[in-house]
Structure 1
Amino acid sequence: MTSDQDRKQQAQARQGRMVALVMAGTVLVWMAAQWLGGELGLPARYAFLFDFAALAALLWALVVTYQIWRNSREN
């Protein structure tokens, strides 16, 4: 059996992987949306919509990263 601390470390590792995927995915989708918006000639308001969505996702990732860091300092 794994100890309680091992389970916590595994949970933190899962959270870290999820944050990394969200960050990488956000940047890739944001870049694709910017390129596609320019190619299709979409109005600038759509670019701002994509920008704010990307900022929200990256802010979420920052908050979760801080929580992971804080939890690791307690152990």
Structure 2
Amino acid sequence: MSQDTDQYLAKKTRLVSLVIAGAMILWIGAQWIGSLLGIDTRYAVLFDLLALAAFAWAFVVIYQIWRARQKG
């Protein structure tokens, strides 16, 4: 595998880790603020779905990284 490919995959891996950490922090914060403010449950479900979408995206990108490393 070339050095350019390794650097590209490293950038993708860092992006995935930031998305996972950010989604988790934002989700926990949204749940905590939502419970303090007493927001409607449909908004809590919206935050849940947004977090799930971020995790699904991260899973797909992690799979792409894994496949790229298998080829190299």
Report the structure number with the largest CA radius of gyration. 1
Q: Give the alignment's Cα RMSD to 1 decimal.
A: 0.9
TM-score relative to the length of structure 2? 0.98
Aligned mates of 2:50, 2:22 — CA distance in 1: 12
Match of 1:40 in 2: 37
Question: Which of the pair has the greater relative contact order for Cα pairs under 8 Å at 6+ separation?
Answer: 2
1:27 aligns with 24
For residues 34 and 51 of structure 1, the distance between their equivalents in structure 2, rounded to whole angstroms, comes to 9
Q: Which structure 2 residue ranges, 5 or more long, are not aligned? A: none
In structure 1, stretches of 5+ residues that fail to align are none
Give the TM-score, by structure 1 length: 0.94
CA distance in 1, matches of 2:71, 2:3: 14
3-state secondary structure, aligned to 2:2: helix
